[in-house]
Structure 1
Amino acid sequence: MKFSLIIFSTLFLTVCSQTISILSPTAGAEVVPGQDVTVQLAFANSLTGVEHIAAVVAMINCAGAPCPADASDTLGIPLFAGNYTPQYHEQNLPPYENYTVTVSSTLAVGTNMLTVAHFMLVGASAVPVLEFANVTVSTPSSSSARREMSIRGRTIST
């Protein structure tokens, strides 16, 4: 019994130390409905073998209400679902992958939540792990959002 508890504890600590993180956008960053945003997902290198299977990037439309504490109950509106293969790009950053996604045009003004679900297999026995990460972002009102409009044949930015 003690042996299985030690193995479980070791596996739990190993899995907890290996988590995906959202490097971009940062907390409080402004995202504009209908515009593209680059989502940078990083995964720190570790001694335990990890096989990344997939990632889902989504946005929870908080619609003026407080956003949930985490994304484990719902991911929101899916913006990307597919392979996740982080790579080293810069020496001072962990391996990461960038995804360019289009923010839903129906996103509410105020605070919203960018969510990520990451599925991986950990260790020699390929233990399946599903983890979540999130960051709150700001969506500007239409009056403060930068937009282009045409007035008498001229395009201007406001």
Structure 2
Amino acid sequence: MKLLQIFYIFSLFLSVLSQSIQIASPTAGETVSPGQIMTVQLAFPNSLTGVEHVSVVVSMLECAAECPQNAADSLGKPLFAGNYTPEYHEGSKPPYQNFTVTVPEGSTADNGMLTVAHFMLLGASAQPILEYKNVTLTIAQTAAKRFIRGRMIM
């Protein structure tokens, strides 16, 4: 009986791993500027197990030097919060949805972590799953806006 429980938990764990949201765009290391409008493309692989997408939150966390590995502690500034309904667009890509967001103005950090929090119900039992994905972006500073000790210089 105990072996059956272990097998069930292991199979549930594998099914969750294989069904995970992906940040298709922007890619890690891509350079963005404060105030820039960018497209965030979120893809979700096709699945044999029933999945009901509830919502996503797309956010940006400014990082002074290096961004943290775990996004669950702080999402940063929310750029979008709402429904997630991925659809097929091209035959070679998994279902995806695009979101148009604006990089926060006034950023003084060199890096930013774009984080996606995805909430879904998985399987026939509607198991609630909350997952986090992130990519680290480079934030380009314009010459006109530089901050030293909290003061803006030109």
- TM-score w.r.t. structure 2 length? 0.89
Q: Secondary structure at the match of 2:91?
A: coil
* SS, match of residue 39 in structure 2: strand
| Paired position in structure 1 for 2:61 | 60
- For 1:87, the aligned partner's letter is E
- Contact 2:62 2:109 (8 Å CA) reproduced: no
- Aligned-pair CA distance for 1:144: 8.8
* Matched residue, 1:26: 27
Q: What SS is found at the alignment partner of 1:16?
A: helix
Name the SS for the 2:107 alignment partner. Answer: coil
> In structure 2, the residue corresponding to 1:78 is in which secondary structure?
strand
SS of structure 2 residue aligned to 1:67: coil
Shift in Å at residue 130 of structure 1?
Answer: 0.3
Match of 1:38 in 2: 39
CA distance in 2, matches of 1:89, 1:122: 23
CA distance in 2, matches of 1:87, 1:3: 36
Segments of structure 1 that go 5 or more residues without pairing to the other structure are 146-158
RMSD: 1.4
Partner of 2:151: none
Name the CA distance, whole Å, in 2 between partners of 1:39 and 1:52. 17
Q: Measure the CA separation in 2 of the matches of 1:41 and 1:11.
A: 23
1:55 and 1:125 mapped to 2: Cα distance? Answer: 21
Paired position in structure 1 for 2:135: 135
Hey, what's the Cα distance between the residues in 2 that align with 1:10 and 1:108?
Answer: 45
Separation in 2 of the partners of 1:53 and 1:76?
21
Q: Distance in 2 between matches of 1:94 and 1:61?
A: 30
> Which residue does 1:156 correspond to in 2?
none
Matched positions, count: 144
Aligned with 1:15: secondary structure? Answer: helix
Structure 1 partner of 2:110: 110
Find the counterpart in structure 2 of residue 124 from structure 1. 124
Distance 1:88 1:8 in 2: 31
Seq. identity, %: 56
1:72-83 equivalence runs, <5 A: 72-83=72-83
Please list every run of at least 4 consecutive aligned residues from structure 1 whose deviation after the TM superposition is greater than 6 angstroms.
none
